[in-house]
Chain A
Amino acid sequence: MLIPHPLLGPRDAQEFTYLGDAALIDRPDGLAADAAERFFDYGYLRDNPPGEHRELWFHEQGDRSWLVVTRNITTHEIVRVELARDVALARGRGR
C-alpha cells in the first residue's frame, strides 16, 4: 500500500507501524466518576464495520508522525490522511 503522508507525500506502507482504530485518540478522563466503565469501552470495544475505517498509523521509519488514515478496508482505497495531532486538537484534546 501507499499512504499519502500529509507532509511527505506518498510513502510505502512498509515504513509505517499500524496501531488500530483512531478511536484510541478519544481517551476518557481517568478522574471522572464513571472512568472504569468508560475505560472498559475505550480499551476493549471496537466497531468493525466493512467499508471506511479510521485508523492510526505511525511513520516509524520516517518522520515519526502519527497519522489518521481513512481507509476502505474492503478495497484498501485510502480516502483521507491527516496528522493525528491535528485530529486530536480538532476533537478538543489539548493539554
Chain B
Amino acid sequence: MSQTMRLAGGRIDRATTLSFAFDGRLYRGHPGDTLASALLANGVRLMGRSFKYHRPRGPLSAGSEEPNALVELRSGARREPNTRATVAELFEGLVATSQNRWPSLAVDALSVNDRLSSFLTAGFYYKTFMWPKAFWEKLYEPAIRRAAGLGRLSGEADPDVYDKGFLHCDLLVIGAGPAGLAAALTAGRAGARVILADEDFLPGGRLNAETITLDDAPARAWVEATLAELASLGNVRLMTRTTIYGAFDHGIFGALERVTDHLAQPRPGTPRQILWRIYAKRSLLCAGATERPIAFENNDRPGIMLAGALRAYANRWAVAAARDVAVFTNNDDGHRTARDLAAAGIRVAAVIDSREDAPDTPGVPLFRSAVVTGSRGRLGLKAITVRTAGGRTEEIACGALGVSGGWNPNLQLTCHQRGRPRWDDALATFVPVGGPSGLAVAGAAAGIFSTHGALRGGAAGARAALADLGIAASLPALPRAEDAPVRIAPLWQVKGKGRAWLDQQNDVTVKDVTLAHQENFRAIEHLKRYTTLGMATDQGKTANIPAIAVMAELTGKPIAEVGTTIYRPPYTPVSLGALAGRSRGAEFRPRRLTPSHHWAEGQGAVFVEVGNWMRAQWFPRPGETHWRQSVDREVLATRQAVGICDVTTLGKIDVQGTNAAAFLDRLYCNGMAKLAVGRVRYGLMLREDGMVKDDGTVARLAEDHFVVTTTTANAIAVFRHMEFCRQCLWPGLDVQLISTTDAWAQFSVAGPKSRALLERIVDPAFDLSNEAFPYMACGGVTVCGGLRARLFRISFSGELAYEIAVPARYGDGLIRALMAAGEDLGVTPYGTETLGVLRIEKGHPAGNELNGQTTAANLGLGKMVSSAKDAIGTVLSRREGLNGPDDIRLVGLKPLSPADVIVNGAHLMTEGSPVDAAHDQGWVTSSCHSPHVGHAIGLGFLKRGDRRTGEIVRVVNPLAGTDIRAQVVAPCFVDPEGVRLRG
C-alpha cells in the first residue's frame, strides 16, 4: 500500500521518491511533501495523542498553526520533540515518532483519561491535588507530568551549530503570498534594499494552495515569473524557510531561518538554523490569515480539518484526506473547498452551511441552515451527524470533514508592542490597528481577503513605505484576480451535550470555558491562565478567537469588549539552540588568558575561572597529591624566599591630565591630592550610598600621570564609574582615562628574596635599595637590557614585595626570565589559592569582605574616609544608619583547638546563647589553613568586633552541625608591625 491517497497534479516532485518512517513503519513520499502530507498520502490520518485526554488526533491544518500533529522528529541526539508534521519537510530517511502515547498510537493506555474527563476540567490540578501537601511533589506532579505532556527531549547535547546574523534593509516584507510578492516587486524595481521573508519553503503563500487564476492563467505562472524577476534584482533578498518571529523596538525584527532543517543533517560547515536580527527602516506585514474551526461535539477526530487545509492538501500536495469528504462552513470560502475537491475527483458527500443564503455548488448536496452536531470513528472520522434546517438529524458517512468558521488575519506582529486589534463585525474577525512605528499591513493580514485586494494592497503598501523614505516607486502592472467579497455569518459553536473542542492542543473545550466563566475567570487573560487556552507551541492560532467568542456569548458582551490576549514573540516556536547560537559550552562567554598562561600550562598549573579570566589556581609538583600540599608549599616559599604570581587580571586604568590628582581625590575617600610623584597609595573607593565599591592602588608616575588598579571582578564597573564621574559630574576637569588592563603584563614578586631576584632582572642603572626604592615607591625602569617596565613596591602578602609590569607581549618572556634568574633563590610560582592564603594571613579585605554591603568602618578603615573633602560616598557614609553602636567590624578568628576548621559562612555566637538569627553576632567571611601559623584562621565581621579582642566566640555552622570555639584577634596573623614589607 503506497500513497493510495495521492491525486494528480500538485507541487511535488514525483520524479523523486523519498522513503521515511513513522512509528517504525516505512512509507514513501516526494520532495515538496511535508511529513503530514506524505502521511495523508499514505492513508495515515492518526498522528498523535492529545495533551490531557490522550484523544487520537490527526492534523487540523496544513501550516504552522498546527495544534495536533506534533511528532518527535529524527532520532538520537537530534531528536526534536513537538515538531509540527504540517511544516516538517520530507527528506530521504526521515524518522518520526508519535508522542504522548503508550504502548502505541492506536492503543494508548492513558486514553483512560478521556473517560475521567469530568475530573480533568479546567483548573483541575488547583482543586484536586491539594491534599495531603507532601503528595504534590512526590506523587501528583510526577504522575501528571508523565501522563500529560508532549514529546521527550533527547537528553543529549545538540550536535548541530546555530548561527546569528544581522541584516539591514529599507523594506522588510513579511510573507511571500500575493501581497508580499507584489510588495517586493514594487520595492525591488524601485531599487530599494528589500528583504522578503516567508516561513514556507515554497514562496507563494495561499496561491500555492488555491486553484484561482491570475490573468486567466494558473497563479503559479505569475508567482514563478515574479520570483525570477526578484532573483534577478541584486537589491532583493528572498529568504524562504524564514519566520519573522518578533517585532521589536525601532524597526528591529527577529527572524529564524531554518537553513538545513529540511535535510537529514546539516551539510558540513553549514548551520542548522540562523537567528537573524533584521534592522528595517520600514516593514510590511503580508502574513496572510489563519482559518478557525467551529466547535461541535467530538470535533477533534482525525480527519476533521480546517476546510482551507483540506483543499491545500488536495491542490498543493495532491493528497485526498479521504475518499468521501464533507464541508461544514458559515462562509463562502468553505464552498471553495467543496468545489476544488469535487474538481479533483473526490466525492463531496455534503456541504453543511449554517446560513440560509448559502451558495450552491453544482453536483454537491447542500444543507442550508444546517449544522454538524457530532462525529463518529474511534481512530479516525467515519461519519458526521447533521441537524438539518427542518431539525432532522442525519448521519453522513465521510472520512474527512473540512470546517470553516472564517479566517483570522495573522496580525500578531502588529501587537508585539502592545497594539490591540479591532473587532470588525462585517468580517467577523479582529483586524489590525496600527502597529509598531514603521510597520504597515497588507492583504489578508489587514483583513483584505481577495487576491485582487492582496496584490493591490501589497504594491500600494510598498510604495507608501518607500515614499516615507524618499524613494519613488511606481506600481507594477498586476494580474487580474478574483475579488470576491467576504460573506460570513458568525457561528462559533454548535451547542450539544458532549465535549466540543476549542483548543485541541491543550484539550480546552467549550465546557472548560463555561466553567471558567462560572468560577469568575472571565477576563480573557484570566481565562487563558485558568484553562491554558492558547498556550504551548501553537499559541492558540486556531483556538483563541472562537474561545473569545464563546466567552463573549457567556458574558453577554460583544466580542470587541472581551478583546484578545496580548500576543507576544515568538510567533512560532524558536529553539533554544538558535537563541544560544554559538554561545554555548566553552564559547558561552569570552575566555581571557593571562600573559603567563602558556607558561603556566607548561608547569602543569591547575586553572580556575575568575570572571572571564583563566587564572592559575596552584602549581602542583611531582609527589603532591592534594591541593593543600601545593598551596602550603607555595605560601611558605613566598614567606621564606620569593614567590611570583601573575596579577595581570587586576584592572589597570591610566589617568592623565593636569587635573588628574584632583579627579582622583574626589574618586577615592582617602586623600590623593598630595600623593608624591614616584609614590603609591592604597585607595578606597566608595559608592555614593557610602558602601565600599572597590579598592586598589594609586601610583603617581608623573605630576599629571597616574595608574590606578582595581580588583579583577570590578575592573569594568570601576572604569565605567570613573567615566561617569569624568563626563557627568566634573566635565570641566582636564583628565583623560583609558583602560590598560590588557596592555600590561603584571607580576607580583613577593618574599624576602624578591629584591635579590629583581636586581637580576631590572637593569643596573636602577637602584632598588630600600633607601632608593622604599616601600610604596613606584617608577619606570628598564628590564632585561632595555625593555621598558614599571615597578611598584606594594605588597598584598605582607612580605617585602613588588609588582612589575611590562608590555603584555613580553609577559611570557618576563615570567620565564624571572623563573630562570631566581632558580637558586628558590623562586616559586603561586596561584590564586596561595594569593588568598597570603592576604587572609595579612588581613587584607577582598571580594568576600568587599561584598557591596560593607562600609569603610566595617572594614576597620573608617579613619581613611576624609572629612576634609567632598569625595564620592563620603556624605552618606556618615549617616546614622551606618554608624550604630552595634556595627560589625572586621576581626581575625583563631580556633581554640588547633585541629578545628573554620568554615566560610559560619555564624558567630556568644557562649551560651541560643543559635538563632536574633542572637547572631556576625559571620566568617574568609578562612584558610595558614601554614605560617600552623592552623586554621579566619576573617569575619563581628558586632563591635574592634572592642572584643580576646573574647571567645562560637563559630557555628548549623548546616554541617559544627560548633567550635575561636578567639577574636586583630585581623592580621603575620607581621602586624609591618617590618617585613618595609625591609
Judged by a CB distance under 8 angstroms, whether B659 is at the interface is: yes
A46 within 8 A of B: no
Task: Determine if A79 is an interface residue (Cβ-Cβ < 8 Å).
Answer: no
Tell yes or no: B688 within 8 A of A by CB.
yes
Q: Which residues of B contact A19 (CB under 8 A)?
A: 724
Cross-chain contact of A27 among B248, B662, B729, B874 (Cβ < 8 A)? B729
CB of B176, distance to nearest CB on chain A (Å): 26
**Interface presence of B251 (CB below 8 A):** yes
Question: Which residues does chain B contribute within 8 Å of A27, judged by CB atoms?
Answer: 688, 729
A9 contacts the other chain (CB 8 A): no
A25 with B729: CB separation less than 8 A: yes
- Across the interface, do B723 and A64 meet the contact criterion of CB distance under 8 Å? yes
Interface size, chain B (Cβ < 8 Å): 31
Instruction: Judge whether B611 is part of the interface by a CB distance below 8 angstroms.
Output: no
B250 in contact with A93 (CB, 8 Å): no
Q: In the complex, which residues of chain A have a beta carbon less than 8 angstroms from the beta carbon of B874?
A: 30
A66-B727, A76-B249 given; A89·B732 CB < 8 A: yes
Asked if A84 meets B279 with Cβ closer than 8 Å, knowing A30-B871, A36-B879, the reply is no
Given A17-B720, A64-B723, A76-B250, A43 and B876 contact (CB-CB distance below 8 Å): yes
A40 smallest CB distance to B (angstroms): 7
Q: Which residues of B contact A88 (CB under 8 A)?
A: 727-729, 731
- Among A36-92, those with CB < 8 Å from B are 36, 39-40, 42-43, 56, 58, 60, 64-66, 75-78, 83-85, 87-89
Which residue on chain A has the smallest CB distance to residue B716? A60
* Residues on the A chain within 8 Å of B879, using CB: 36, 40
- Bound: A58/B251 CA distance, A: 22
Give the residues in chain B near A40, CB-CB below 8 Å. 876, 879
Cβ–Cβ contact A66 & B875, under 8 A: no
Distance of B279 from chain A, by nearest CB (Å):
7
CB distance from B713 to the nearest CB of A (A): 16
Q: Is B689 an interface residue (CB 8 A)?
A: yes
B730 touches A1 (CB 8 A): no
Q: How far is the CB of A62 from chain B (nearest CB, A)?
A: 12
Q: Which residue of B lies closest to A93 (CB)?
A: B731
B720 touches A60 (CB 8 A): yes
Q: Does B601 contact A (CB under 8 A)?
A: no
Query: B896 an interface residue at 8 Å Cβ cutoff?
Result: no
A85 to B659, CA, bound (A): 17
- Among candidates A36, A39, A76, A78, residue contacting B688 with C-beta atoms closer than 8 Å: A39
Known: A39-B688, A43-B688. A94 touches B732 (CB 8 A): yes
Against B, the Cβ 8 Å flags (1 = close, 0 = not) of A1-34 are 1100000000011000101000011011111000
Q: How far is the CA of A27 from the CA of B730 in the complex (A)?
A: 10
Contacts of A66 in B (CB 8 A): 723-724, 727-728
Contact between B870 and A31, CB atoms less than 8 A apart: yes
For residues 678 through 727 of chain B, which have their beta carbon under 8 Å from a beta carbon of chain A?
688-689, 716, 720, 723-724, 727
B733 contacts partner chain A, Cβ-Cβ < 8 Å? yes
- Taking a contact as CB atoms under 8 Å apart, the answer to whether A25 and B728 are in contact is yes
CB proximity to A under 8 Å, residues B546-583: none
Residues of B within 8 A of A60 (CB): 716, 720
Cβ B689 vs Cβ A93 within 8 A: no
Contacting pair A35 B249 (CB below 8 A): no
Given contacts A84-B728, A93-B729, contact A58 B870 (CB under 8 A): no
Place the interface of chain A in its size category: 35 or more
The reply to whether B250 and A2 form a contact with Cβ atoms under 8 Å apart is yes
Question: Looking at chain A's contact residues, is the secondary structure mostly helix, strand, loop, or mixed?
Answer: mixed
User: Is the Cβ of B875 less than 8 Å from the Cβ of A2?
Assistant: no
With a cutoff of 8 Å between Cβ atoms, the chain A residues found around residue B248 in the complex are 1
Q: Is the Cβ of B731 less than 8 Å from the Cβ of A56?
A: no
Partner among A12, A36, A94 whose Cβ is within 8 Å of the Cβ of B875:
A36
Q: Does A58 contact B720, Cβ atoms closer than 8 Å?
A: yes
Q: Which residue of A lies closest to B689 (CB)?
A: A43
| B437 at interface by CB-CB < 8 Å | yes
Q: Interface code B648-664, partner A: CB below 8 Å = 1, 0 otherwise? A: 00000000000100100
Instruction: Decide if B249 touches A58 in the complex (CB within 8 Å).
Output: no
B878 interface hit (Cβ, 8 Å): yes
Question: B464 within 8 Å of A by Cβ?
Answer: no
Q: Could you say which residues of chain A place their CB within 8 Å of the CB of B724?
A: 19, 24, 56, 58, 66
> Which of chain B's residues have a CB closer than 8 A to the CB of A78?
250
Contact B876 A84 (CB under 8 A): no
Is B252 on the interface with A (CB-CB < 8 A)?
A: yes
Closest to A64 in B: B723
The answer to whether B732 and A84 touch across the interface, beta carbons within 8 angstroms, is: no
Complex Cα spacing A68 to B318, Å: 61
**CB–CB B876/A85 < 8 A:** no
> Are A2 and B249 neighbours in the complex by a CB distance under 8 Å?
yes
Give chain A residues whose Cβ lies under 8 Å from the Cβ of B251: 2
- A58-B871 in contact (CB<8A): no
Chain B residue with Cβ nearest A59: B723
A30 to B250, CA, bound (A): 41
Inside 8 A of A77's CB, which chain B residues have their CB?
437
Q: Note all chain A residues with C-beta closer than 8 A to B252.
A: 1-2, 12
Cα distance A27–B731 when bound, in Å? 13
Q: Which of B728, B733, B871, B875 contacts A35, CB < 8 Å?
A: B875
User: Is B659 a contact of A42 with CB atoms below 8 Å?
Assistant: no
In the assembled complex, the Cα of A24 lies from the Cα of B279 at a distance in Å of: 32
| A64–chain B nearest beta-carbon distance, Å | 6
* Binary contact track B874-917/A, C-beta < 8 Å → 1, others 0: 11101100000000000000000000000000000000000000
What CA separation (Å) do A87 and B723 show in the bound complex? Answer: 15
| CA of A88 to CA of B727, assembled, Å | 8
Q: Judging by beta carbons under 8 Å apart, are A36 and B249 in contact?
A: no
A12 to B689 alpha-carbon distance, docked (Å): 31
Q: Report chain A residues within 8 Å CB of B723.
A: 58, 64, 66
Given A1-B252, A39-B876, A66-B727, decide whether A95 and B732 contact each other with a Cβ distance below 8 A: yes
Chain A nearest Cβ from B665, distance in angstroms? 12
**Which B residues touch A56, using CB under 8 A?**
724, 728
CA distance A94 to B907 in the complex (A): 48
Bound complex: CA of A42 vs CA of B729, how far in Å? 13
Taken together as a complex, chains A and B put the C-alpha atoms of A30 and B730 apart, in Å, by 14
Interface centre among B417, B731, B732, B733 (most CB of A within 10 A): B731
> Mask for B805-838, Cβ within 8 A of A = 1, else 0?
0000000000000000000000000000000000
Residues of chain A lying within 8 A (CB to CB) of residue B728: 24-25, 56, 66, 84-85, 87-88, 93
A43–B727 Cα gap in the complex (Å)? 19
A93 touches which of B437, B662, B732, B878 (Cβ 8 Å): B732
B732 to chain A, nearest CB (A): 3
- Taking CB atoms, residues of chain B closer than 8 Å to A75 are 417
Chain A residues with Cβ under 8 A from B662's Cβ?
95
A19→B723 CA distance, assembly (Å): 12
A94 CB contact (under 8 Å) in B279, B720, B730: B730
Output the least CB separation between A58 and chain B (Å): 6
What residues of A have a CB within 8 angstroms of the CB of B730 in the complex? 93-95
Residue of B with least CB distance to A87: B728
Q: How far is the CA of A57 from the CA of B144 in the complex (A)?
A: 47
CB distance from A75 to the nearest CB of B (A): 8
**In the bound complex, CA of A76 to CA of B249 (Å):** 7
B250, B659, B688, B878: the one contacting A1 at CB < 8 Å is B250
Residue of A nearest to B730 (CB): A95
Q: Nearest chain-B residue to A2 (Cβ)?
A: B250
Q: Which residues of A contact B878 (CB under 8 A)?
A: 36
Closest 6 CB pairs of A and B: A30-B870, A94-B732, A95-B732, A2-B250, A1-B249, A39-B875
List 20 A-B pairs, Cβ < 8 Å.
Answer: A2-B252, A13-B249, A24-B724, A31-B870, A35-B875, A36-B875, A36-B876, A43-B689, A56-B724, A60-B720, A64-B723, A66-B723, A84-B727, A84-B728, A88-B729, A93-B729, A93-B730, A93-B731, A95-B659, A95-B733
Instruction: Give the A-binding residues of B (Cβ under 8 A).
Output: 248-252, 279, 417, 437, 659, 662, 688-689, 716, 720, 723-724, 727-733, 869-871, 874-876, 878-879
- A-B contact sample (15 more), CB < 8 A, given A30-B874, A40-B879: A2-B250, A2-B251, A12-B252, A17-B720, A24-B728, A25-B729, A27-B729, A28-B875, A29-B870, A30-B870, A36-B876, A66-B724, A76-B417, A87-B728, A93-B730
